[in-house]
Amino acid sequence: MGCICHAASAVVVVPRAKHALFSSTSCRNFVLSSALGPQHRFCSNCNSWGISWRSGTTAVTAKADEKQLFKSPNLVALEYADLNIKYNGSEVVGHVRTRQHVNPLGASFLKPAQLPDWNEIFRDPTLPLTVDIGSGSGRFLLWLAKQNSDLRNYLGLEIRQKLVKRAQLWVKELALNNIHFMFANATVSFQQLVCTYPGPLMLVCILCPDPHFKKRHHKRRVVQKPLVDSIVKSLMPGGQVFIQSDVLEVALDMRKWFDDESVVLQHICAIDPFGKCDDNGWLLCNPMGIRTEREIHAGLENAKIYRRMYQKMQI
């Protein structure tokens, strides 16, 4: 449970969850909306979201506004507020279900993705590359790309074509030239894509992949030995792999595959003395600077997020 920051008006506190758009050593409120009615605030010291109402607002209105804020889409909008995306893309791609499970072993998904012209999609294709496998809506990667426009390139691989199409519309809207989304099955296309990239591969993210709960469907999970081998082979020394899931079984499965590469990969807590892990070796915080949409949804359900980060050693 989050704490209530010192504000003159009444504050409703969202359960404790890091919102990395702001950081500060002092306890202060960041107002995201100055309109009449609820003001969305984040207290960086308390590490919690809250809403304050101007004096005179009725309790009934406050309760309704609080209930509305606690809906996942609104919390996602707050988390990614500085992207300032205006266009939802529904006119072009129609309704989009982010959490729709897809069978990656279906015949239509086994065709290798067409190799891009890196000089066409990136302003500088020699920059270090981050690949997000299963990029979902793309907001997470868009935020990173906007923050690091001159430092890194970002490639999102997603198996749901509607999500890719909408994400590319957002890339165009934001006029970013260091990010690209591709319709691709990472199991099939990862190796051939990254091996043609002119710059170094420095980070691979696999965040809350489809769990495929049924035992007979485990073979559909994205993290399997061939993909792990490709990632380890393609990463530059010092490059990193970040995995996370809100499903313990899936997190343990991914962890096993990457822990088995201990000759080449080392967990970040073994390298960084300031790395904070729990007693079971899971990272306590998301090191990327912002939560994924799935993390936000999981937070509403009080679900734990299981994270690991590995770094390729110098050999």
Q: Which residues are catalytic?
A: 210
Both tokens of 176, joined, read 């970013």
What ranges in 70-116 are assigned the alpha helix state H?
72-79, 90-93
Residues 6+ apart with CB under 8 A from 273: none
Angle between helices 161-174 and 139-147 (to 10 degrees): 30
Report d(CA 164, CA 134) in Å as an integer: 10
- Cα–Cα distance between 155 and 204 in angstroms, integer? 10
Considering only CA atoms, which of 43, 89, 84, 51 is closest in space to residue 70?
51
**How far is the first Cα of the chain from the last one, in angstroms, to the nearest whole number?**
45
For residues 299 and 59, what is the distance between their CA atoms, to the nearest angstrom? 26
CA 145/CA 232 separation, integer angstroms = 23
What one-character-per-residue DSSP string does 258-296 give? Answer: HHTTTTTEEEHHHH-TT--B-TTS-BSS-TTSS--HHHH
